[in-house]
């Protein structure tokens, strides 16, 4: 098959899924994302891909170095390419408007068919943690029903295949009735579906991150869910391989652009997270008060001496400030350097970094934005737009690109 394979991503976030599909040579027709900072991140990444393909990638690195501003960068990108990023909330009352914008993009690019639709609606309402924090178990959360709008995209654009990503809690939400309803809506839209719970670690991501990956295909097509081969090399690496070449930081330190302190680890090179021409960006640590840093020291020392992550109640009494000590007992957690993977990177990083304490006792801080992005397998040349809280949220919500590219190549096999 020589024709250009196309996709639309809805609820796109920062574009982790999209990054994987671009690596598999799919063409992005449109991304729909309601968050303004994530939309800017998508535009900047599309600028990167366009300039790389055009042989003008040095212009992108000029932007990363701060030598030109974002407006200057975007001025070198065709308007039709940037307009593929649609910064809109997907709602029932604006669906036709969004559809019209996508139709116009398809017409301008002479695209007659959408091959794949991607996306995962916001997952907080499906997550077990989210339900635990909500007195109604998030039963009344309108985000529970965004799959109905997803089905409308399927009816409108009739892709051959779609990929729907979410947290495993989706299966148990509403005592399983929600998942049954989702399947019914996809079936009514004309698609057979199957799913598996996949772990990003099995694709080379140094993180314990399980996600439900739903794949659907047209009823009239004889397809089945693909078999994914586990990465046999990832077991040779450790969390320290993510961190070893980055400068030490104190809380609140770091710059938008900086330098590496040593050569890239074998892991970073093998999985193309850091390349020779890369510039270190967004290696900035959040601020912490003195009590938190004392807790961080205790957690690091406990790991060093006992290879154990202490619970909140294990802390010295003078460091405990929370009355309720029975909830979120592991609210302080070290990212252990000698383990094969980190804990799951989550969007809560936008609020505090207590669950992601850097293992170096000389730094006493939580992980930086770039470190979080690496644990998600984003390459170092992937630049996130927005303030720190917005960037951590984008990173935590994303599909790891290494995982996404493996899915994309399997979807490509199904299509061809």
Q: What is the pLDDT of residues 340-357, one digit of tens each?
A: 999 999 999 999 999 999
Every domain of the chain with CATH number 3.90.120 lies at: 234-392
> What angle do the packed helices 16-23 and 401-415 form, to 10 degrees?
50
Q: Which CATH architecture has domain 234-392?
A: Alpha-Beta Complex (3.90)
Predicted confidence band at 321 (pLDDT cuts at 50, 70, 90)? Answer: confident
Tell me yes or no: is domain 6-232+396-415 CATH 3.40.50.150.
yes
Does 140 have pLDDT greater than 80?
A: no
Three-class HEC string of the chain: CCCCCEEEEECCCCCHHHHHHHHCCCEEEEEECCCHHHHHHHHHHHHHHHHHHCCCHHHHHHHHCCCCCHHHHHCCCCHHHHCCEECCCCCHHHHHHHHHHHHHHHHHCCCCCCCEEEECCCCCCCCHHHHHHCCCCCCCCHHHHHHHHHHHHHHHHCCCEEEEEECHHHHCHHHHHHHHHHHHHHHHCCEEEEEEEEEHHHHCCCECCEEEEEEEEECCCCCCCCCCCCCCCHHHCCCHHHHCCCCCCCCCCEEEEECCCCCCCHHHHHCCCCCCCCCEEEEECCCCCHHHHHHHHHHHHHHHHHCCCCCHHHCCHHHCCCCCCCCCCCCCCECCCCCCCECCCCHHHHCCCCCCECCCCCCCCECCHHHHHHHCCCCCCCCCCCCHHHHHHHHHHCCCHHHHHHHHHHHHHHHC
Every domain of the chain with CATH number 3.40.50.150 lies at: 6-232+396-415
For the chain, the average pLDDT equals: 92
Token duo for residue 177? 């009735």
Q: What is the pLDDT of residues 141-151, one digit of tens each?
A: 555 589 999 99
Phi, psi of 414, rounded to the nearest 5 degrees? -65, -35
The CA distance from 219 to 191, in Å, is 5
Residue 322: predicted pLDDT: 76
Q: What is the pLDDT of residues 69-95, one digit of tens each?
A: 999 999 999 988 899 999 999 999 999
Catalytic residues: 123
Predicted confidence band at 127 (pLDDT cuts at 50, 70, 90)? Answer: very low
Q: What is the pLDDT of residues 391-406, one digit of tens each?
A: 999 999 999 999 999 9
- By the 8 A CB rule, do 212 and 168 touch? yes
Q: What is the pLDDT of residues 21-56, one digit of tens each?
A: 999 999 999 999 999 999 999 999 999 999 999 999
Q: Point out which residues pair with 284 in neighbouring strands.
A: 254
Predicted confidence band at 123 (pLDDT cuts at 50, 70, 90)? Answer: low
């Amino acid at each position: 098959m020589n024709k250009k394979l196309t996709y639309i991503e809805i609820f796109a976030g920062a574009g982790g899924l999209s990054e994987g599909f671009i690596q598999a040579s799919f063409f992005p027709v449109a991304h729909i994302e309601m968050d303004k900072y994530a939309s800017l991140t998508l535009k900047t990444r599309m600028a990167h891909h366009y300039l790389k393909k055009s042989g003008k990638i040095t212009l992108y690195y000029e932007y990363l170095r701060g030598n030109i501003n974002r407006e200057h960068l975007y001025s070198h990108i065709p308007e039709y390419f940037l307009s593929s990023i649609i910064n809109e909330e997907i709602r029932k009352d604006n669906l036709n408007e969004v559809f019209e914008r996508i139709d116009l993009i398809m017409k301008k690019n002479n695209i007659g068919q959408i091959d794949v639709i991607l996306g995962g609606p916001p997952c907080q309402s499906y997550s077990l943690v989210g339900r635990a924090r909500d007195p109604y178990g998030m039963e009344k959360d309108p985000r529970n029903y965004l799959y109905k709008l997803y089905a409308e995209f399927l009816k409108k654009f009739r892709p051959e295949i779609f990929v729907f990503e979410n947290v495993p809690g989706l299966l148990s939400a509403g005592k399983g009735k929600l998942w049954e309803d989702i399947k019914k809506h996809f079936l009514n839209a004309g698609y057979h579906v199957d799913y598996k719970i996949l772990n990003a670690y099995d694709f080379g991501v140094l993180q314990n991150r399980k996600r439900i990956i739903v794949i659907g295909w047209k009823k009239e097509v004889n397809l089945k869910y693909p078999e994914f081969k586990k990465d046999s090399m990832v077991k040779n690496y450790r969390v320290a391989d993510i961190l070893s070449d980055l400068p030490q930081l104190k809380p609140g330190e770091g710059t938008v652009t900086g330098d590496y302190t040593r050569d890239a680890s074998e892991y970073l090179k093998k999985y193309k997270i850091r390349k020779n021409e890369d510039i270190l960006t967004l290696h900035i640590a959040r601020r912490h008060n003195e009590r938190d840093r004392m807790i961080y020291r205790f957690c690091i020392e406990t790991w060093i001496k006992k290879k154990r992550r202490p619970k909140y109640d294990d802390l010295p009494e003078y460091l405990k400030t929370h009355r309720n000590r029975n909830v979120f007992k592991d609210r302080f957690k070290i990212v252990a350097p000698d383990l094969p993977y980190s804990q799951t990177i989550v969007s809560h990083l936008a609020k505090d970094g207590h669950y992601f304490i850097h293992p170096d006792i000389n730094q006493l801080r939580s992980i930086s934005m770039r470190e979080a992005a690496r644990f998600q397998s984003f390459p170092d040349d992937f630049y996130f737009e927005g303030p720190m809280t917005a960037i951590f949220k984008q990173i935590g919500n994303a599909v790891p690109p290494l995982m996404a590219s493996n899915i994309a190549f399997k979807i490509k096999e199904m299509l061809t």
